[in-house]
Amino acid sequence: MKRICLFPGTFDPVTLGHVDIINRALPLFDKLYIGIGRNVNKQPMFSEEQRLNWLNEIYADNDKVEVLAYDGLTVECCKNVGANFILRGIRYVNDFEYEKAIADMNRSIAENIETIFLTCLPQYTSVASTLVRDVLKNGGDVSKFLPEEVRNTIQ
């Protein structure tokens, strides 16, 4: 059985924290889908097209990675792409509590899909897309939190 994983998120914008989790997960899976979830309750700063482009550019040379956007439940997206794992990054203990509740719900809906948690490296614990957006909105420099592909686009 192939180990196929979905890493869901909004990636608004893609940060070095996201890239850290993805890069460290790649050896664990045969295929890794990065899924941009469409959430009607969130108004993204960057277009879906821009976020897809960033991720496609960052992983252009890696045939194990495929980027997509999806509506609805994450477990349904997993079923659509044949993923049997969901990848989530954890920065702090409160992230784990929140993510565990989601993982438990997902498991109750689709018991064959397992959630895998990776903790981020210490230098990325404070890197959150929400904080990066706030700094950007207020004219601050976010270059040290973003991959080159993202920095080149927003500066």
Query: Tokens 């420099």 sit at which residue?
Result: 141
pLDDT by residue (tens digit) across 60-82? 999 999 999 999 999 999 999 99
pLDDT tier for residue 155 given thresholds of 50, 70 and 90: low
Active-site option among 24, 64, 91, 107: 91
Residues 6+ apart with CB under 8 A from 114: 84, 85, 86, 107
- End-to-end Cα, the chain, rounded Å: 43
pLDDT tier for residue 52 given thresholds of 50, 70 and 90: very high
31 among known catalytic residues: no
91 among known catalytic residues: yes
Active-site option among 42, 47, 126, 143: 42
- 4-154 has CATH 3.40.50.620 classification: yes
Shortest CA distance to 47 belongs to which of 14, 83, 80, 89?
A: 14
Give the domain ranges of the chain.
4-154
Contact 30, 64 (CB under 8 A): yes
CA distance 132 to 135: 5
Which pLDDT belongs to residue 40? 79
Cis peptide before 13 (omega within 30 of 0): yes
CA distance 49 to 7: 18
Query: Tokens 């989790």 sit at which residue?
Result: 21
129 among known catalytic residues: yes
pLDDT > 80? residue 145: yes
42 among known catalytic residues: yes
* 42: amino acid identity, one letter: K
